[in-house]
């Protein structure tokens, strides 16, 4: 059994992680900075192997305090990170296994791989990215959209992000990457990338129908990093591991 602690336990994702942590997992501690009774004021219980974090970037000072002086592994799906949070990820990884992903869905990983192929093959296409999330999401564009934009930039150097368009903005420039954020309802996550060529277009899309997808992905990541040596890990590491061991599970 993998023993976990949940940071951000009273948020939508934290609650789902707790609900889905049935067979194979045990929740030993819960922390949420919005609730004084749950605020981290000490290290996790010694039996905890992995802290699963779905909180907010501005809560990471408390997460840092929780992890300090321990080597407990971390799985985080928190988005909206700034330079300070990215520095913390690297610092934490010196002493523990740190798994961070902007999206815990395996399908998004597949989408990113396919987008890289499409960007190479359709090297003259105009590219537009549209992401849709629920009305409570605070960061924009989504962390997944940011990662997709970074992926496309590696394949097509020189792409310039343009966040929405308004007014007399002129004709579309060849190296623009349009990024558009839609917010409304209870959409867990939808990412669509269109490649527009002369006379034809290709659109690749990934949709999540339930947030439980992310909770299950985080638990899968927790099982993966438990007992691993210090360092940074991500979805590519997890997918590679699952592919190599699919006949043993």
CB neighbours of 210 closer than 8 A, spacing ≥ 6? Answer: 188
Q: What is the 3-state secondary structure (H, E, C) of 216-246?
A: HHHHHHHHHHCCCCCEEECHHHHHHHHHHCH
Q: Which of 15, 68, 133, 246 is catalytic?
A: 133
- Assess whether 133 carries a catalytic annotation: yes
- Distance (Å, rounded) from C-alpha 89 to C-alpha 23? 29
- Locate the DSSP E strands across 120-220: 126-133, 160-163, 176-183, 189-197, 200-208
- Assess whether 175 carries a catalytic annotation: no
User: Could you say which DSSP state residue 67 is in?
Assistant: H
Q: Respond yes or no on whether the N-terminal peptide bond of residue 141 is cis (omega within 30° of 0).
A: yes
- φ/ψ (deg, to 5) at 95: -110, -5
Q: Which of 15, 134, 136, 137 is catalytic?
A: 137
For residue 31 the two structure tokens come to: 């922390």
- Distance (Å, rounded) from C-alpha 136 to C-alpha 241? 34
- Would you please indicate which residues are annotated as catalytic (active-site) residues? 133, 137
């Amino acid at each position: 059994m993998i023993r976990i602690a949940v940071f951000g336990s009273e948020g939508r994702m934290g609650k789902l992680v707790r609900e889905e942590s049935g067979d194979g997992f045990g929740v030993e501690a819960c922390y949420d900075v919005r609730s004084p009774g749950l605020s981290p004021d000490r290290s996790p219980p010694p039996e905890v192997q992995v802290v699963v974090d779905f909180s907010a970037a501005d809560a990471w000072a408390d997460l840092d305090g929780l992890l300090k002086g321990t080597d407990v592994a971390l799985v985080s799906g928190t988005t909206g990170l700034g330079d300070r949070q990215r520095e913390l990820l690297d610092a934490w990884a010196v002493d523990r296994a740190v798994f961070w992903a902007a999206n815990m869905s395996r399908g998004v990983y597949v989408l990113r791989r396919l987008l890289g192929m499409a960007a190479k093959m359709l090297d003259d296409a105009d590219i537009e990215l549209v992401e849709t999330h629920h009305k409570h999401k605070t960061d924009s564009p989504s962390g997944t959209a940011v990662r997709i934009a970074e992926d496309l930039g590696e394949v097509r150097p020189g792409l310039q992000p343009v966040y929405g368009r308004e007014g007399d903005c002129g004709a579309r420039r060849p190296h623009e990457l349009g990024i558009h954020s839609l917010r409304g309802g209870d959409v867990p996550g939808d990412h669509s990338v269109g490649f527009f060529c002369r006379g034809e277009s290709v659109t690749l899309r990934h949709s999540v129908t339930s947030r439980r997808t992310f909770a299950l992905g985080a638990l899968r990541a927790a099982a993966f990093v438990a007992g691993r040596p210090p360092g940074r890990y991500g979805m590519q590491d997890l997918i590679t591991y699952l592919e190599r061991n699919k006949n043993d599970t």
